[in-house]
Chain A
Amino acid sequence: MISKKKTTAPGPDRQHALACIPMRNPECREEHKEEGILLRYTVQAKPWLRKIFKSAAGREPEIIRKKLQLDAMGSSVWQAIDGSKSVLTISRDFQKEHQLGPREAEISVSEFIQQLGKRGLIALKEPEK
């Protein structure tokens, strides 16, 4: 009857992550389109790619230009990132706006923010104590 059911990750880490404040990358440019916001940003080429490029072309590669098309929901979260609201506040607003469950909104918003972070579009600021 009793089996290996595990409890979820310890609370403080999750709470701490939700208290962080996302900050936009000032280099990122946005364009408002019918389907949502289009983000234009630049990234440095990965070291292994630079090495290959240099040996092939004989020079360092230029900065890579990228773009990311957000849908309406992604755009609303992007617009909520103003450098003062925490991830938790953004997810609460998102929850109210779309009539979602609290945890459902938290997971959606934090996963989206994580994706933006991986692309270098945002950074997370530690909450003030």
Chain B
Amino acid sequence: MGEERAWRRIGWDGILLQVPADWHPAAVYTDYLLFEEHYQPVFALKWQQIKGRFEAEGILKKLQKSLGRAELTPWQPPTGWRLHLKSFIHQGFHWQGAGGKGTGLLLYCRESRRALLLQFYRADESLLSIFERLLANLQARQQGEKRLWSVFDIAINLPKEAQLTEHEFLPGSFRLLFKLPEGKLTFYRFKPAAELLRRQSLSAFGSKIADGAALVRTENPLQAQWQKNPRSGHYLLARLRGKPACSTVRLWVLPEKNVILGLKAQGNRLIAAHNFEALCNNCTAC
């Protein structure tokens, strides 16, 4: 039954997983994801980097407290699930309290030193195979030099050093701000592009995001780019204010998706054109 459903990939803070496409991310925090199905919580995932020794009891005690002194009982996950948990130290539990009940797993990945707390809010027979597939694809830490940030309809591949500092998902407007060793990087997604650009050009639409940067002439009508590379006086003033002096901004339209995507790179030096191009090429809307 679960196999017939469409699935989508979620990437967030190094975590990689797959969930049914009709599960809606109802809460997205830097270290927490909650999914809903038919307006009801179905699955939540929370994670933390462990600095010292991993102590499951302490974490479960905190969970119990956060669930309003819910009753936690040990639980052995089914064999099918355990097959996918070989790379983790795992501990299963049932919880029951005033706020509801469900099944959970506390996982610890030795390699990445990350603890993951999975909460399954329902235990219908039909969901068991879905949870099993979810576990089969769960990664505590993405490998390689890039990290996928993919939620809702956006997908961004960024260098592994990128740290999410702010994010907002408003209807029609998404914004993710990352900190990189060289400066700041902001990703934008606006929808529906056709309506937003009905009475104004892309450059007029993006002027607020460009924040005073100069419009750069481009041949592509579906793209607008701005650049700010101030002279010494303004550069020094920006540095004294503790603000990044240089910025490169690009907005581009994907008409087939009816979306405007954007990227703003800010730093004390102008980002190299080929690096900015590579970053833009790694941002897309699904």
Question: Taking beta carbons and an 8 Å cutoff, which residues of A are in contact with B?
Answer: 1-8, 11-12, 14-15, 35, 71-73, 98-105, 107-108, 111
Contact = CB atoms under 8 A, between A and B. Distances in A.
Given A8-B41, A11-B39, A98 B192 contact: yes
A26 to B, nearest CB: 29
B39 A14 contact: yes
Contact of B198 (A3, A72, A107): A72
Contacts of B41: 7-8
Nearest to A71: B195
B138 interface: no
Nearest to B32: A5
Contacts of B63: 2
Nearest to B153: A101
Nearest to A4: B66
Nearest to A73: B195
Contacts of A71: 195
Contacts of B24: 102-103
Interface of B: 24, 26-27, 29, 32, 34, 36, 38-41, 44, 46, 48, 59, 62-63, 65-66, 115, 117, 152-153, 171-172, 191-192, 194-195, 198-199, 257-259
A101 B44 CA distance: 20
Main secondary structure on B side of the interface with A = mixed
A2 B46 contact: yes
B274 to A, nearest CB: 32
A98 B46 CA distance: 33
B29 to A, nearest CB: 7
B27 A99 contact: no
A2 B191 contact: no
A7 B153 CA distance: 22
28 contacts: A1-B48, A1-B59, A1-B115, A1-B117, A2-B65, A2-B66, A4-B66, A5-B44, A7-B34, A7-B44, A8-B26, A8-B34, A11-B39, A12-B39, A15-B39, A35-B199, A98-B191, A98-B192, A98-B195, A99-B191, A99-B192, A99-B258, A100-B172, A101-B152, A101-B153, A103-B24, A104-B191, A105-B171
A3 B66 contact: yes
A72 B29 CA distance: 33
Given A104-B171, A108-B172, A5 B27 contact: yes
Contacts of B258: 98-99
B272 to A, nearest CB: 34
